[in-house]
Structure 1
Amino acid sequence: MSFLIEGVQALTWQQVVMYAVGILLIYLAIEKGYEPSLLLPMGFGAILVNLPFTGVLDQTLQGGIQANGVIEWLYNVGINASEAMPILLFIGIGAMIDFGPLLSTPQMFLFGAGAQFGIFAAILLATVLGFDLKDAASIGIIGAADGPTSILVSQVLHSKYIGAIAVAAYSYMALVPIIQPFAIRLVTTKKERQIHMEYNPASVSRKMRIAFPIVVTMIVGLVAPQSVALVGFLMFGNLIRECGVLGTMSDTAQNTLANLITLLLGISISFSMRAEYFVTKGTLMVMLIGLFAFVMDSIGGVLLAKFMNLFLKKKINPMVGAAGISAFPMSSRVIQKMALEEDPSNVILMHAAGANVSGQIASVIAGGLVINLVTSLL
């Protein structure tokens, strides 16, 4: 009888908290539809790794026999040892993205850079609050608004907050429809949000679409070599999409590969959501700094657009600048919804989509730059 209740007796209040966190993530995935392919396995995994004497983690059995746990093995092989899973996911992401709106309106590249302001603001804040440089940089990258980039950077820099960073990154991405309108309204007027923009896209040739991922990879690789894995796999996925001769592979990358890797990535990350590491004051601070990063991303993009308007005859709706975050395509849809609320005839979706796609590239480059910067300083 004592053997049957041994697990119950071994429960800690921190583990009970993690059960609540896991159930919350599952609820958000199922009932709210927030990134279900990732939040659901993360939530269920958080429950699995926090069961007393759980068999999904490595453990020593009677007689000194070592038993390998499947989640710990997945984490060590797919994330810890090689960062393979988040990098492979970029192939699927690249295959999903149409760079046409961005290539037809190249000035939108600027907003991708401007909306990364939250990364560096959050790094500075985390440093001031006492986090060491590796952890501060890993926390700041939540502002990339890109889950795989956040996971990869925090893993490469060996941050002890990778679980909290992953939860924050994907949770706040799902909450973009709530976070962005709040941030945008803080720094814009109704008149600015009603600015109309004409969309007259230049035609984008097939040759340009094919050349773009190759050229971007070469330039970024020469400027920031640590970004090659991130940018290269993203652009490789896009090249599969645009080459025109690998239609089946493109479909596989967008669907089967992306879904499979996301599923395994979510349950593997749960290894870092063990109660003794997750239920801490540091985790709460990570979540708050991550929220700060998302807000500052949107504000940075808006302020850049407002600065550009000082010199432009045809004004830019500053909300487009906020779409420069990487949460593609959610952010561009949020911006369009806000524009229609201000003026039912205001259609700025394609401008926002161009900035949004730019943000996807910029966030990956920013991740590589952060890795470069931190490793060079240390």
Structure 2
Amino acid sequence: MDFWNAFASLFSNFGNLTWQMVVMWGIGALLIYLAIAKKMEPSLLLPMGFGAILVNLPLSGAITQGDTVGPISALFEAGMSNELFPLLLFIGIGAMIDFGPLLEKPWLMLFGAAAQFGIFFTLFLAGFFFDLKDAASIAVIGAADGPTAIFVANVLHSQYLGAIMVAAYSYMALVPIVQPPVIKLLTTQKERRIRMPYQKGSVSQLTKILFPIVVTIIAGLVAPASVALVGFLMFGNLLRECGVLNTLSETAQNILANLITIVLGLTVAGQMTADKFVRPDTLLILALGLVAFVFDTAGGVLFAKLANLFLPEGKKLNPMIGAAGISAFPMSGRVVNKLGLEEDNQNFLLMYSISVNVSGQIASVIAGGLLLTLLS
């Protein structure tokens, strides 16, 4: 009898399984499929997908159950609730970015600023459904910048942190799917075929060293709450450009960034439990995040089209580069370049699109900081 009771107890946990958990398994499986089969940001989607399955097993030991602390919950408390992991990732991102092409053509920063339109539009829209701090946290999803979205949501104590984290990182990974239809809808084939020959300029080493320092100071004066975000990003870039810390720069770009990305993916998945995720308000947040993302893309494209009204023939801009002004670096820049080559196999937009993409990284961080300064 004891044997049969023991045998039956092995299957007792099946009674704790809910249909919501099974739905989350499906979402996790989809993320894994996109990561492996479609190669869509696998470093993000694979840990998120597997983690979503891990935390949605009944009585999962990966997350805290009663008095037993789960490792993923412990990671969240150690590095997400205090914004540590996103900030450390920003050091790695900063070390990856070459601001040289942007410094050669600083006017491209205007497109990065224009592509933040979706954040403020969605802030207004989300205000009808959520309180102001939650609305601001949701709006930052539009930048498609996970670390910034997490940082803002944490500082504003948003109760929807899990959904915001998942949406921000998901849209980062879905840039190749979401952006092309928006770009094509807003541009004509003739506009997409506009060539922009790139003439390389020169930027001194001193300028590259001073740039991250000056940007940090200016951002700190304009939006003090953005100092941590901007400062860690610019510190990573200073490691790259100073010329005397190549080993540290390479470590930040590779080992640090990869390690934090894995931990971030699993930790984000820790917030994807069925009870938090399969809810109407979570679906609304995902929808509003998509709206913000689409309008960010549209803002950059339409700004370029507006600029073309005042530019002479032969100096017109390819409006697709404006779409690269979102913060998803370097995915968005690559998408724009790919679209240009599809229309004209001699139309290389990579240097322009990456430069705009870099400016969007800075602009989104500052936009997030402005929201924090206004609402904190």
TM score, norm. by length of structure 1: 0.93
Alignment of 1:222-301 (within 5 A): 222-301=221-300
More off after superposition, 341-350 vs 137-146: 341-350
Measured in 2, the distance between the counterparts of 1:51 and 1:338 equals 41
CA-CA distance at 1:107 after TM superposition: 0.5
Is residue 2:117 matched to residue 1:111? no
CA contact (8 A) 1:145 1:363 kept: no
More off after superposition, 134-143 vs 232-241: 134-143
Measured in 1, the distance between the counterparts of 2:162 and 2:37 equals 23
Q: Which residue of 2 aligns with 1:33?
A: 39
CA contact (8 A) 1:144 1:367 kept: no
Deviation per CA, 1:81-137: give whole Å up to 9, x if none: x21001110000000001111001111000000011111122222222x12222211
CA contact (8 A) 2:95 2:249 kept: yes
More off after superposition, 51-60 vs 118-127: 51-60
Unmatched 5+ stretches in structure 1: 61-65
CA contact (8 A) 1:35 1:170 kept: no
CA-CA distance at 1:78 after TM superposition: 0.8
Measured in 2, the distance between the counterparts of 1:310 and 1:158 equals 43
Residue from 16, 22, 40 that aligns with 1:16: 22
Q: Which residue of 2 aligns with 1:63?
A: none
CA-CA distance at 1:40 after TM superposition: 1.6
CA-CA distance at 1:224 after TM superposition: 0.5
Q: Which residue of 2 aligns with 1:345?
A: 346
CA-CA distance at 1:201 after TM superposition: 3.0
CA contact (8 A) 1:184 1:319 kept: yes
CA contact (8 A) 2:163 2:286 kept: yes
Give the alignment's Cα RMSD to 1 decimal. Answer: 1.5
Alignment of 1:351-366 (within 5 A): 351-366=352-367
Q: Which amino acid aligns with 1:119?
A: I
CA contact (8 A) 1:34 1:171 kept: no
Q: Which amino acid aligns with 1:299?
A: A
Q: Tell me, what secondary structure is at the counterpart of 2:232? A: helix
Cα 1:26/1:94, change in 2 over 3 Å:
same
Measured in 1, the distance between the counterparts of 2:116 and 2:96 equals 22
Q: Which amino acid aligns with 1:204?
A: V
More off after superposition, 330-339 vs 271-280: 330-339
Aligned residues: 368
Measured in 2, the distance between the counterparts of 1:291 and 1:242 equals 35
Q: Which amino acid aligns with 1:10?
A: N
Residue from 6, 9, 23 that aligns with 1:3: 9
Measured in 2, the distance between the counterparts of 1:310 and 1:28 equals 40
Measured in 2, the distance between the counterparts of 1:215 and 1:342 equals 39
Is residue 2:154 matched to residue 1:148? no
Q: Which residue of 1 aligns with 2:371?
A: 370
Q: Which residue of 2 aligns with 1:221?
A: 220
Q: Which residue of 2 aligns with 1:136?
A: 135
Q: Tell me, what secondary structure is at the counterpart of 1:67? A: coil
Deviation per CA, 1:211-256: give whole Å up to 9, x if none: 0000000110111010011000000000000011111111100000
Measured in 1, the distance between the counterparts of 2:207 and 2:294 equals 34
Measured in 2, the distance between the counterparts of 1:147 and 1:58 equals 24
Is residue 2:170 matched to residue 1:165? no
Q: Which amino acid aligns with 2:348?
A: V
Q: Which amino acid aligns with 1:55?
A: G
Measured in 1, the distance between the counterparts of 2:187 and 2:300 equals 12
TM score, norm. by length of structure 2: 0.94
Q: Which residue of 2 aligns with 1:43?
A: 49
Measured in 1, the distance between the counterparts of 2:71 and 2:353 equals 42
Alignment of 1:89-104 (within 5 A): 89-104=89-104
Deviation per CA, 1:10-45: give whole Å up to 9, x if none: 111111111211222222222222222222222222
* Identity across matched positions, percent: 64
Deviation per CA, 1:176-228: give whole Å up to 9, x if none: 22222211122222222222223223201100010000000011011101001
CA-CA distance at 1:320 after TM superposition: 1.1
Q: Which residue of 2 aligns with 1:309?
A: 308
Q: Which residue of 2 aligns with 1:184?
A: 183
More off after superposition, 159-168 vs 92-101: 159-168
Q: Stretches of 4+ moved more than 4 A in 1? A: none
Q: Which residue of 1 aligns with 2:336?
A: 335
Deviation per CA, 1:52-91: give whole Å up to 9, x if none: 222222233xxxxx322111111111111x2100111000
Unmatched 5+ stretches in structure 2: none
Measured in 2, the distance between the counterparts of 1:273 and 1:333 equals 29
CA-CA distance at 1:271 after TM superposition: 2.3
CA contact (8 A) 2:95 2:252 kept: yes
